[in-house]
Amino acid sequence: MKINWFKYASPATFYPVAGRLVPLFGIAAVVLMLFALYWGFLETPERLGGTNPQKEYYRIIFIHVPAAWMSMWLYLVLAGWSAVGLVFNTRLSFMLANAVAPTGAVFTFIALWTGAFWGRPSWGTYWDWDPRLTSELILFFLYIGFMALHSAIDDSRRADRAAALLAIVGLVMLPIIFWSINCPDPNNCAALHQRSSLGKIESNILIAMLTMTLGFWLYSFATSFVRLRGIILMREQDSAWVRELVADDGGAVQPKPGESDREVSA
């Protein structure tokens, strides 16, 4: 079967589709997040054992880690749509990138915030210049930069393309930045290698965490689509279909396009 993807690349077709998907994703997200919270709070061990016995507050992991994952994934999505937009010049891709950015920034912020509140009881400090924390902070700056640049430019087309270029430059730089922070001393990098402890984690915790991640993921879809619909309406004000839509709601009068005439004389 061959689907005409370009049909869906038009804002006019995508607008109602997004409208139908929003409640679907929204409800699923809420359900999954509630389930994950329930599972995380009631079905997991009361305290973690091992060398560093963590008290009840380890449960913040069910928000913290999924949020951190989402923040990185969403940046990839953002840069991906930006690249598609720049290459194929499709308006919808830029709009998608814009719609995703605030959600990504929010997850980054949540990861930082929950991390800080976790750090207080477990490390005795809100903040430490641990490589991972620093990288997350820089990711936050990249999101903020993207949004700041976009909103600093009046002309929406220039704003889209400039912000998209920035997102791509950011994506190229990101691995280098992360790596330089993780390995500030190239003489003995191997010693600093950080190992993820996810493999050894208890399965209940894993279930709760993965469910929460999925919930966050759907939440990202829902919020991005809501924002996307707003953006589409604003950008396409002039087009016939939006005018019909607005007219149905008894909306405002739209300007007519200017006419032009010409005469030739010798």
Partner 1 sequence: MLKVFWCILKRDITLAMRRRTDVLTTLFFFIIVVSLFPLGVGSERELLRELGPGVVWVAALLASMLALERLFAADYDDGTLEQMLLAGQPLSLLVLAKVVAHWVLTGLPLVFIAPLMAMQYALDGTAVWVMMASLAVGTPVLSLLGAIGAALTLGLRGGGILLSLLILPLYIPVLVYGAGAVTVSAIQIADTQPYFALLGAFLLAALVLAPPASAAALRISME
Partner 2 sequence: MLEVDHLSCRRGDRTLFTGLSFTLPAGTLLHVRGRNGSGKTTLLRALCGLLRPDHGHIRWRGEPITELADDFNRELLYFGHLNGIKADLTGLENLRVAATLDQDPCADADILAALARIGLAGFEDLPTRMLSQGQKKRVALARLILSKAPLWILDEPFTALDTDAVALLERLIAEHVAGDGAVVLTTHQEVQLTRGEIQRLTLGSVPSS
238 near partner 2, rule: CB under 8 A? yes
| Residue 176 or 264 having the CB closest to partner 2 | 264
157 near partner 2, rule: CB under 8 A? yes
176 near partner 2, rule: CB under 8 A? no
HSE-CB at 199 with a 13 A cutoff on CA atoms is 2
Distance between CA atoms of residues 48 and 26, nearest Å: 33
46 near partner 2, rule: CB under 8 A? no
**Candidate list 46, 155, 185, 249; residue touching partner 2; CB under 8 A:** 155
**Candidate list 72, 127, 204, 246; residue touching partner 1; CB under 8 A:** 127
Single-letter amino acid, residue 218: L
Among 72, 14, 92, smallest CA distance to 217 is for: 72
| Residue 92 or 142 having the CB closest to ligand HEM | 142
Neighbours of 37 (CB within 10 A): 17
Which residues does residue 48 pair with via DSSP β-bridges, in sequence order?
A: 54
Q: Say if CB 97 and CB 85 are below 8 A apart.
A: yes
**DSSP-derived 3-state class of residue 54:** strand
260 near partner 2, rule: CB under 8 A? yes
HSE-CB at 29 with a 13 A cutoff on CA atoms is 16
Residues at the site binding partner 1, with contacts judged by CB under 8 A: 116, 125-129, 134, 137-138, 141-142, 144-145, 148-149, 151-153, 155, 157-158, 161-162, 165-166, 169-170, 172-173, 176-177, 179-181, 184-187
Residues at the site binding ligand HEM, with contacts judged by CB under 6 A: 61, 64-65, 68, 111-112, 115-116, 118-119, 122-123, 132-133, 136, 196-198
